[in-house]
Amino acid sequence: MVAVEAVWGASPGAMAVGVVGGAGVVLRLGVLASGRGTNLQAILDACARGDLPASVAVVVSDRADAQALERARRAGVPAIFVDPRGRKKADFEAEISRILREHGVELVCLAGYMRVLGRTFLREWEGRVLNIHPSLLPAFPGLEAQRQAWDYGVKVSGCTVHFVVPEVDAGPIILQAAVPVLGDDTPESLAARILEQEHRIYVEAIRLYAEGRLRIEGRRVVILPPGEPRVRPEHLPPRQP
């Protein structure tokens, strides 16, 4: 396991996020998913190819029939269903958090997870939760973003990887990819082309995090050059997963 950091950087109000370790360090990922899990598959494939200094430690779903669970099992990754029915949100999320801790998770990745995470969960995992959204945020947050963009008549849509905060789809943006809206597009064809870019930039954002190259400055995420040293203030102890 590596030490995961969400630390104040050199600039006023800046927070550096990522891991502390040298070559060969592998970041342990926990993936929350509710559906098909295509972004999960992109992450699994990138880990298997050696394109990411990371491994998926566990996949958790709020749906027993989520295809993402089967993808995890095929990859030899623990796949756990947590039933949200008939229980308080806080209790449900406390169980998920416990599972993540038990599997040594250092970064949580939402991959089609269809629930809004609560403040208590996000406080525990502050600076350590990423999400991929199928629009160029802040445009078209929430559900069916691809259809929202198509209905609005935009000429360019895309996708966004961002840190997760309590407000929906409102966290600091790490990476974005633009996708042109073609004249003969349908919401479905647009969504399919956006999904291709989701797979690409989500893996890249996780890699940047794993390399300790992200620094949050207010609403901005600064991508640091490779090899730039990150120094932890002595008064701030390492965050534990």
Residues annotated as part of the active site: 133
| Element at 123 (helix H, strand E) | helix 119-124
Contact 131, 110 (CB under 8 A): yes
Closest CA to 72 of 96, 36, 101, 100: 36
Residue 129, both tokens: 């939760």
Strand pairing report for 220-223 and 214-217:
antiparallel
Contact 212, 5 (CB under 8 A): yes
- Spatial CB neighbours of 115, under 8 Å, sequence gap ≥ 6: 34, 62, 84
| Element at 15 (helix H, strand E) | strand 14-20
Residue 162, both tokens: 């961002």
Q: How are the residues of the chain apportioned to helix, strand and coil, as percentages rounded to the nearest 5? A: 30, 25, 45
